[in-house]
Structure 1
């Protein structure tokens, strides 16, 4: 093994793994302003992801969610689909924890379902993601998340899907992807307010760089979906 190869191998072996810290209290509303709970135990430089499902009713911009103060939009977000009188918009925002973080207030038109998850071990400057990808589907009772190709080992792959189903309890389950270690659901928030809809979040670790492949899950009933895959890179 030459010196360069040895150095690259040691750097990869010593690279931190991104870890999941927790998810705060979810928020739902009929679109009126509501605060989304922060996860407990967050520390300075943790990455916070705010995932929001909102309505697209008659035009594609109906469900627009304004960026909360101190937050930024994630690349390839929002993912929006509108058809007839019902539609779905997934918006994902992020911020790096500062130690003086407060619960953001969000609002929209129609339903709103939101959740914040925290992760540790990402770079302390710049964007925390390695890569992202998003898509939408007009009607499906399954979830097929878009694949991303990571360029670093030990990325945390976060999977977010918004739906247009009405309810008060979680409806997304059965996440499968053999390439992701420890794949688990982090949140599943539904509301029957404002026409109904929800957002679900799952995550797993991609130990070696490469294509994640698609992650599959099921939902209770056919619905419109906005979907986003985010690969959080280790720092």
Structure 2
């Protein structure tokens, strides 16, 4: 079970996925839902012994497959194999007193079997300011990585993203240097060219303009999609910056 929870909370896994989709949905009143979904089905199918999942792992996945979990639920699941789970939980929360408060609007979902691999994180924010704070607070998830579980390694371009929603305009800026991002990725950065990073942004009103000249705008005009090679993101995180104006 610890290995399963480790996959859910380990953002380092983002660079081992085949396609990572960052989806932002903006409501007229300013509420924003931010999602990051990592689909590694192709990689899973290509791995040796991908069908040799143990009974214990399959049983654990049956409990959480398709379910949206709170951080407290993730914490409880990660401690199922501990000899004294309640004592361990109290210890973690004492050492990380802001863990549950700072991540209360975060949900995680996993879909995984012999051929399907999909992990998603979702932030339900009241407004752009709340989203910006929540992205920074993803670092709190490192508390779930104690012991044998892989710690969370939040990409710099995620936690240093800033969204602004004002007068029918959404703008996303990023304050991170390429060298800082590459340093955090280590050897994983060398694999980045193999993977795709997709941005999808949805609105309730039609789009008037997008700063990406080649963005694919939906037929109803209320969303757009833009794709990058992960190597492009690693070389220049600021390519993920954009500005959208609505009609």
Instruction: Answer 1 or 2: which has greater helix percent.
Output: 2
Is TM more than 0.5 here?
A: no
TM-score, normalised to structure 1, is: 0.33
Instruction: Answer 1 or 2: which has greater strand percent.
Output: 1
